[in-house]
Amino acid sequence: MATLQLLRGAEMLKQGAEGRVYRAEFLGKPAVIKQRFPKRYRHPELDEKLTHRRTMQEVRSIARCRRAGISTPVVYFVDYSCSCIFLEEIVDSQTVRDFIASARRSSSRSDQELQRLAELTGRILAKMHDEDVIHGDLTTSNMLLRRSADSSELELVLIDFGLSYISALAEDKGVDLYVLEKAFLSTHPNTEPLFQQLLGSYSASSKKSSAVIKKLEEVRLRGRKRSMVG
């Protein structure tokens, strides 16, 4: 109840597909509250199950990633009664999506910066998969970039783990990359070489990458072989 009261006065940052993201403070620290409100379009039983499962998965996978040294927001507090997660706000960050879009618009920022980003992303996804975390919704909107305080190095922060789960199967990891590939190439037209670079870095960083890339190719082929009739 207290959480919902807090939301009433808070500034809404974004209405995503899963829920609403508000700006807040938690014990004096900048925070965001992600609220999964009931979706009236779906059956109440289904809605409750999905909402509960996703809130739980988000918290779990974030913890697992952080333990492995993968940057994700800290979970400050969870209120299951209203499916609200209090997360560290990644201040002064932008989505990878906006970063790529603006880098491609401006000529001053070099291709080199994009290449470094692709390399970094591949490396971090490989690390996440080595922990058997399947993100489930990899897009360039679900990755934030910030410059670390001490240097000008870019830091990649993964967010939005509601569809995540734990699996060691190469098939699941391959599909995770396939989902990213489609989202990446449709959001950022004509970036095939950049995505190739990301995959290259993924392959070089992960011990188990060859089976995953093979699955990725298989899933792609299934898509291409499917008849487009009807």
Partner 1 sequence: MGAPLVTVAIVARTVAQLWGKPLLGVNHCIGHIEMGRLITKANNPTVLYVSGGNTQVIAYSQRRYRIFGETIDIAVGNCLDRFARVIKISNDPSPGYNIEQLAKRGKRYVELPYTVKGMDVSFSGILSYIEEAANKMLSADQCTPEDLCFSLQETVFAMLVEITERAMAHCGSQEVLIVGGVGCNLRLQEMMGVMCQERGAKLFATNERFCIDNGAMIAQAGWEMFRSGQVTQLEDSWITQRYRTDEVEVTWRD
Ligand X SMILES: Nc1ncnc2c1ncn2[C@@H]1O[C@H](COP(=O)(O)OP(=O)(O)OP(=O)(O)O)[C@@H](O)[C@H]1O
Catalytic positions are 137
Per-position x/- string for 79-98, each x denoting binding to ligand X as judged by CB under 6 A, each - no binding: --------xxxx--x-x---
Q: Which one, 91 or 228, has the nearer CB to Mg ion?
A: 91
Among 61, 72, 137, 194, binds partner 1 (CB under 8 A): 137
Distance CA 15, CA 37 (A): 11
Query: Could you tell me which stretch among 117-125, 145-153, 159-167, 170-178 binds Mg ion (CB under 5 A)?
Result: 159-167
Residue 222 binding partner 1, by CB under 8 A: yes
Token digits of residue 17: 């597909």
Give, in order, the Cα–Cα distances in Å from 58 to each of 5, 62, 147, 230. 23, 6, 25, 38
State the pairing for strand pair 84-88/29-35: antiparallel
Q: Residue 216: which of 184, 190, 162, 179 has the closest Cα?
A: 179
Query: Could you tell me which stretch among 50-58, 71-79, 137-145, 215-223 binds Mg ion (CB under 5 A)?
Result: 137-145
Partner that binds at residue 90, options ligand X, Mg ion, partner 1, none, CB closer than 5 to 8 Å by kind: ligand X
Among 13, 26, 39, 211, binds partner 1 (CB under 8 A): 39
Among 182, 200, 208, 211, binds partner 1 (CB under 8 A): 182
Among 2, 8, 28, 41, binds partner 1 (CB under 8 A): 41
Per-position x/- string for 15-54, each x denoting binding to Mg ion as judged by CB under 5 A, each - no binding: -x--------------------------------------
Beta-bridge partners for 143: 158
Per-position x/- string for 139-158, each x denoting binding to Mg ion as judged by CB under 5 A, each - no binding: ---x----------------
Distance CA 18, CA 52 (A): 12
Residue 32 binding ligand X, by CB under 6 A: yes
The contact set with partner 1 (CB under 8 A) reads: 14-17, 39-43, 45-46, 49-50, 136-139, 141, 163, 175-176, 178-180, 182-183, 186-187, 189, 219, 222-230
The contact set with Mg ion (CB under 5 A) reads: 16, 142, 160
